[in-house]
Each structure stands twice: as structure tokens, then as C-alpha cells.
Amino acid sequence: MTTDAAVQRRLFRVVVRCSLNAALSVAILLAPPAVGAQSWPSKPIRMIVPGAAGASTDLLGRLTAQALSERLSVPVVVENRAGASGIIGVDVVAHAVPDGYTLLWTGQDTQILVPLTRKNLPYDINRDLTPIAKVGDLYMLLAVNPAFPVKTMQELVARAKASPGSIKFSSSGEGGINHLMVELLKERADIDLLHVPYKGGAPAVQALLAGDVDLYGGSTTNLASLVGSNRLRGLAIAKPTRDTSMPDVPTMAEAGYPNFVVSAWFGLYAPAGLPQHIAERLSSAVVSIASSPEFAAKFAKAGAETAPLARGAFAKYVAEDTSRWRGVIEAAGIKPSE
């Protein structure tokens, strides 16, 4: 009996062990694949652009999407989500699943200026989004109506000092980059200019062309052709070197204002919580794309310049740019709106 009992116990242990192994095998087969276990990307990626189709942001985003699609061998589909100063589009990505299949193509306006000048956003830029890479810049230019009797920055500043508040400048709205560029000039040159905000860049430029205002700070994309056709006069460009499309327009440094560089930059973001290996692969791919001469030529044709930064450097750049414009906004007395 003792021997039979021992045999039965051994048989029982074998049966239990086999049952457990079988159950474990079934569990492994039925369990969803672990994050990162499957190949990424394995399906189309959507790139949210928080602006209207045809705008500069959209055009540059589509160039990047096409190049990224070729690099990753999957479609990268641009989806325009315009409205509320870009807040609608950013919100889509901020609350998306962080799986690498929803990305945000955006720039300085939504990532810095809107958070600094608007209250009660439905997301936190720093908590809900992850920077992937910076791609490039649209540099800013100060221009005047040709009928306005100044031809240089020195003459503009002298006239402003002689008659404070008499020179009017337009903008696409309070707190935008073209408004803040002139506020930075006011601070650096210690002058007083009269701000006339419009609802968008197009009417702000039209006001300058019509002579309703005297000065406007806008991107080279919007102003280069107008300066080239003598419909506007370029006073100075806020970039490190002269622009090849306007070789006669001096830089702000040449006009007497060193380190006066202003651009509307663009880059790629993803939802917070994106797996590290996907974030690294995306960042590497975007920086590689933006570093290629072929892509730089396409960007230049659209009026922009490539200036790639990988994840860490991009995050640092955004933090420094945020600090810079926060100071300008506070000095200008701009209060956050609802």
C-alpha cells in the first residue's frame, strides 16, 4: 500500500505539472503582444496639423510627412484640425493613445505663445506631449510701406524717439509672433509704437500695403515677394545671415541689434507616454530627413530653413524659447485671455 500511495503521489504531481504548463502555454498564446514586441510601424500614421490646409504650417508639415513616410515605409497621413488658435488640433494629440500612430506637426505658436497668453487650456503642454524633433524655422522680417519716410532701422528708431506712439504697426493678433517681434524691438530700442491688431496675417499685411499702418513684422514666406516687387520695403531681417531672396535687406545685427533673431519654428510632437524606442526612432528619422540636402531644398522653396534638433536638444530649445517670450510678454503687459 505504501508503494502504491507513493506512485499515486508522483502521478498526481506529474498531472498537475502538465496541467500548469498547458495553461501557461494557452495564456501566452492568448495574451496581447507586449509593447514594443510587435514591429513599429505596422500601419499608417496620422500627423495632426492644427491649422488650415494650404497655410505655411500645413505645407511644411506635408513635406515632412511625405519624407517620413518614405523613411518608415508606411503612409503618414496629414489630418488638418484647425480652430481656436490651434488648440483643437493639439488637444487631439494630447489625449491620443501614445502608440506612435498619432503625431503632431506644430510650432512656436501652439507650444509656447498660446500657453503663455491663454487660460484654461484642455491640456498641459509639458505634461501631455513629448517633443520628438525640431525641423526648421521661418525667419521674421520687419517691413514698411514704401510711402513711409524711413529706409533703415536707424531712421525708424530716430523717428519713433522723436514722436513716441506716432508709428503704427499691425499684427495678426495680440500675442502672436509678429506682435511679439515688434514688442521685442520696442524693448531693445527703448521706443514707443502703436499696436493695431488684426484678425489674421492677411489683413495685417493688407493694412500695411494700404498705408493704414506703417510697420509689420512677418515671415519671409509672406513678405519676400512683396519686398522683391517693391510693394513693401524691407528694413531688417531677424536671422543670423542675410536672406538670399532679399540680399539687400540687412540683418538686425547689421542694423545695430545683435542677437536679435526671431523665427517661427516647427517640429514634431507625440502624446506623452510614448515608448522610448519609438520616440528614439522617430527623432532619429526626422533629424536624418531634415539634415538631407534634398529635403533642405524643398523646405527652402517653401520659404523656410531646416535646423534639425533631436529630442533632448529640442526640449531644451523649447524651454529656452519659452523663457524668452515669457519675458517679452510680461514686459509688454499682455495678460492671458480666457
* Tens of pLDDT, residues 22-55: 443 434 344 444 444 468 999 999 999 999 998 8
Which cell numbers hold the place of 22?
498547458
Q: Are residues 231 and 153 in the same domain?
A: yes
Listed in sequence order, the residues at least 6 apart from 280 whose beta carbon sits closer than 8 Å to its beta carbon are 311
* Tens of pLDDT, residues 157-169: 999 999 999 999 9
Q: Are residues 116 and 170 in the same domain?
A: no
Q: Are residues 199 and 272 in the same domain?
A: no
Please tell me what DSSP assigns to residue 251. B
Alpha-carbon distances, residue 110 vs 18, 88, 142, 212 (angstroms): 59, 10, 23, 29
- What's the whole-model pTM score? 0.85
> Is the CB of residue 94 less than 8 Å from the CB of residue 255?
no
The CATH number given to whatever domain includes residue 163 is 3.40.190.10
The neighbour count for residue 269, using CB atoms within 10 Å, is 25
Q: Are residues 58 and 123 in the same domain?
A: yes
Is residue 212 in a domain? yes
Is residue 246 in a domain? no
Q: How far is CA 287 from the centre of its chain?
A: 15
Q: Domain end: 196, 218, 237, which one?
A: 237
- Please state the rounded mean pLDDT for residues 258-273: 96
- Residue 204: which of 246, 184, 232, 230 has the closest Cα? 232
Q: What is the pLDDT of residue 12?
A: 47
Listed in sequence order, the residues at least 6 apart from 266 whose beta carbon sits closer than 8 Å to its beta carbon are 57, 60, 61, 105, 106, 107, 108, 134, 135, 136, 137, 138, 304
Type of residue found at 163: S
Tell me the pLDDT band of 338, cut-offs 50, 70 and 90. Answer: confident
Q: Are residues 225 and 173 in the same domain?
A: yes
Alpha-carbon distances, residue 262 vs 142, 238, 334 (angstroms): 11, 5, 19
